[in-house]
Amino acid sequence: MPSTRSGSGKKSASRRPSSRRSASVRPAPGTRARGAAEPAQMAVYPGSFDPITNGHVDIIRRSLRVFPRLTIAVAYNPNKDAAMFTPAERVDMIREAFSDVGDRVVVDSFTGLLVDYADRIGARVIVRGLRAVSDFEYEFQMTMMNRHLKPHIETVFMMADESYFYTSSRLVKEVASFGGDVRNLVPDFVLERFVSRFARKPRG
Ligand code: ADP
């Protein structure tokens, strides 16, 4: 594990005893104590989002409780992208899901290495979601590789509500393509796109 991890030095600085600050004097609400660690201002949540599901929505809403700003980044590979929706369509759907959040959420797309993209936009934190244990192995490898490439970028994991534990874009697409009901698993406008894409209504 690389020894240079961002934040660790700053964290101890916030605990340095200060002769000018007694323990009973707290910083005013909304302000930070002198010497306190800089919060991670921008986190990035990357994925295929092909299309966005309610599992993704849940992870994003949880992330917004932790990070002041979040970039949702649609990953695509122009040379071999077998996605159902174009990157622009995927971005549009995510924007529609978070139209109520204002500028705390930025939706973008990128190609190439995630850590390079994170550096370009000034994000120090990567958010990933975990479902069943099966996600762990892949996510673990990716995290270690990203840490090897850019030790100053941390990855944090979130778990969605248990009702989305088995929801994945791949599975909802497959079920919808056979006319199965995926109503509670994706936002309504995604459902509409499925209906027009597969030209038949999901069974209800
Ligand atoms: P997928 O195509 O597998 O649905 P993405 O590549 O779009 O997923 O996923 C982006 C991130 O969101 C990944 O870290 C993935 O594990 C996570 N994620 C996707 N669906 C869920 C869910 N239902 N619950 C928790 N995390 C999820």
Packing angle of the helix pair 133-149, 114-121 (nearest 10 deg):
60
Instruction: Identify the pLDDT of residue 5.
Output: 34
Give backbone dihedrals phi and psi of 185, rounded to 5 degrees, phi first: -105, -15
Cβ of 160 closer than 6 Å to ligand 1, yes or no, is yes
Instruction: Identify the pLDDT of residue 181.
Output: 94
**pLDDT for residue 144 is more than 70:** yes
Mean pLDDT score, 51-80: 95
How remote is the CA of residue 57 from the centroid of ligand 1, in Å? Answer: 10
The per-residue pLDDT for range 178-198, each reduced to its tens digit, is 999 999 999 999 999 998 888
**pLDDT for residue 121 is more than 70:** yes
Instruction: Identify the pLDDT of residue 200.
Output: 54
Q: Is 1 helix (H, G, I), strand (E, B) or coil?
A: coil
Question: How far is it, in rounded angstroms, from Cα 89 to Cα 44?
Answer: 19
**pLDDT for residue 50 is more than 80:** yes
How remote is the CA of residue 56 from the centroid of ligand 1, in Å? Answer: 6
Q: Can you give the pTM of this predicted structure? A: 0.81
Which ranges in the chain belong to alpha helices (H)?
8-13, 54-66, 87-97, 114-121, 133-149, 169-177, 188-198
How remote is the CA of residue 49 from the centroid of ligand 1, in Å? Answer: 8
Cβ of 87 closer than 6 Å to ligand 1, yes or no, is no
pLDDT above 70 as % of the chain: 78
Domain 39-162 homologous superfamily, CATH: HUPs (3.40.50.620)
Instruction: Identify the pLDDT of residue 38.
Output: 56
**pLDDT for residue 14 is more than 80:** no
Pick the atom of ligand 1 nearest to 169's CA. 4
Instruction: Identify the pLDDT of residue 34.
Output: 56
**From 49, 54, 59, mutation site for ligand 1 pocket: most ligand atoms within 8 A of C-beta:** 59
Mean pLDDT score, 87-93: 97
Partners of 105 in the beta sheet? 70
95 or 81, greater pLDDT: 95
Question: How far is it, in rounded angstroms, from Cα 182 to Cα 47?
Answer: 20
Mean pLDDT score, 152-160: 96
Q: Beta strand 42-47 with 125-130: parallel, antiparallel or unpaired? A: parallel
How remote is the CA of residue 131 from the centroid of ligand 1, in Å? Answer: 8
Question: Cβ(105)–Cβ(64) under 8 Å?
Answer: yes
Q: Can you give the residue ranges of every domain in the chain?
A: 39-162
Pick the atom of ligand 1 nearest to 55's CA. 23
Pick the atom of ligand 1 nearest to 46's CA. 10
* DSSP collapsed to 3 states, 139-194: HHHHHHHHHHHCCCCEEEEEECCHHHCCCCHHHHHHHHHCCCCCCCCCCHHHHHHH
Instruction: Identify the pLDDT of residue 41.
Output: 81
Mean pLDDT score, 143-165: 96
Looking at the annotation, which residues are catalytic? 56, 80, 131, 169
Averaged pLDDT of the chain = 84
Cβ of 76 closer than 6 Å to ligand 1, yes or no, is no
